[in-house]
Amino acid sequence: MAENTVLVIGGGAAGMMAAGQAAAGGARVFLIEKNDRLGRKLAISGKGRCNITNDKPISDFCACYPGNGRFLQGILHEFDNVRLRSFLAGYGVETKVERGGRVFPVAGEAESVVRALSKFLAAAGVEVKLGQAAEAVIAVGGKVRGVRVAGGRTYPGKAVIVCTGGATYPATGSSGDGYRFAQDLGHRVISPRPALVSLRTAEGWVSELQGLSLRNVAVTLKVDGRAQASDLGEMLFTHFGVSGPLVLTLSRLAGDALRQGKRVKLEVNLKPGLNPEQLDRRLQRDFSQAANKQFKNALNALLPQSLIPVIIRLAGIDPDKVVHQVTRNERRSLAALLQSLPLTVSGTLPLAAAIVTAGGVDVKTIDPKTMASKSVQGLYWAGEVVDVDGVTGGYNLQAAFAMGYRAGRAAGRYAQGSV
């Protein structure tokens, strides 16, 4: 066994942070990455802009993780959003806050974050091994001994930190290897499933709206007719259904309900800033100004152009009808539709297309104070491989960095015999 040596499997956000922290504490560190470069998934996150974290108070973060937020409480406080932004600034990445508290690099490039972490690794003396796929974590007598990679080579080490990611975007290297390592070492793995993922819908008219983005709308998720969650923000229509931040946030609950055989619907409020009476007055005003126009030409100030024919069809109002002939009941039916546009959720996109994986190594098998395995000495976990997932808005990367920070420091101390 190589004393003083920490082996980190996976060169993503959690892995790079863990490796650098372990090395900065004095351990010898090897970072083992199957790809030919570090941070491949990180480099494409946030549509290539990298939503690093969120600006809200760290005490409010745990509520933003539907997957085991309480497990993260102390972890997030140790390496919070303020410390993360300060850390990145120290390596040349200044950050800015955008809508919804989302934090991005000022340069608008996810690659700048990868470069900063690479500088951190170099400064700390981490030995990076690219193009080497880990095949197994070697443990004897309940203690870690090293890592075997493809081709048969074994790296001996006193501590191993598994940061292999989830099962999303497998082309970037996140192909679920860590789950296999966990099961081989006797750890329970909660079945992986998509957390932040686009939804398929049954309505044929949705494809007519492909590419339409709606801002400042409210979406309510209903399961078997009962409202389960609601949020305000932005959504996007696609050729298969709906996507965008609002939908992604609700998708975990929707997917879980569908897997249980329940009926799942979305109701879109296109005018959430108005109560029903205010919306009716708005319609009356608009109709008064367009009294002699055909109904199909009277909604331009109210709705995006591509949405108008769909709404008219769903409202059941003759598009050629002169506006002053629209009845009060028709107007009120239109108003109700505008505030509860129904969508039937028929499924989610597959796990490989999700942004984040729900499920993973059971947090009950991990000590949150160190990220160490409770059953295998010298084994640590960090990042998306752990059964932790957050909503959209920077929370998942913050969790990955914070878990990597804690695991790296703890594994480094262990490898040097100081714990």
pLDDT one-digit tens code per residue, 3-55: 899 999 999 999 999 999 999 999 999 999 999 999 999 999 998 999 999 99
Give the C-alpha separation, 405 to 230, whole Å: 33
Give the C-alpha separation, 237 to 343, whole Å: 11
Assess whether pLDDT exceeds 80 at residue 402.
yes
pTM over 0.75: yes
Lowest mean pLDDT among 160-174, 217-231, 289-303: 160-174
Helices 276-289 & 328-338, crossing angle to 10 degrees?
120
Looking at residues 150-167, what average pLDDT do you find?
Answer: 96
Token representation of residue 205: 């008219």
Domains and their CATH numbers in the chain: 5-195+351-415 (3.50.50.60), 198-348 (1.10.8.50)
pLDDT for res 192: 95
419: confidence class by pLDDT, cuts 50, 70, 90: low
Using CB atoms within 10 Å of the CB of residue 211, give its burial: 0 to 12 exposed, 13 to 18 middle, 19+ buried.
Answer: exposed
* Spatial contact of 377 and 207, defined as CB atoms under 8 Å apart: no
The mean predicted confidence, pLDDT, of the chain is 96
* pLDDT cut 90: percent of the chain above it: 95
Give the C-alpha separation, 358 to 351, whole Å: 9
Q: Which of 402, 388, 384, 394 is nearest to 165 (CA)?
A: 384
Residues 6+ apart with CB under 8 A from 77: 58
pLDDT for res 36: 96
pLDDT for res 113: 98
169: confidence class by pLDDT, cuts 50, 70, 90: confident
Looking at residues 374-383, what average pLDDT do you find?
Answer: 98
418: confidence class by pLDDT, cuts 50, 70, 90: confident
Give the C-alpha separation, 328 to 351, whole Å: 47
Q: Give the SS3 label for residue 243.
A: strand
Give the C-alpha separation, 36 to 300, whole Å: 52
Give the C-alpha separation, 31 to 139, whole Å: 18
Helices 328-338 & 308-315, crossing angle to 10 degrees?
120
Give the C-alpha separation, 374 to 272, whole Å: 48
For residue 249, CA distances in Å to 8, 171, 209, 243 come to 31, 24, 21, 10
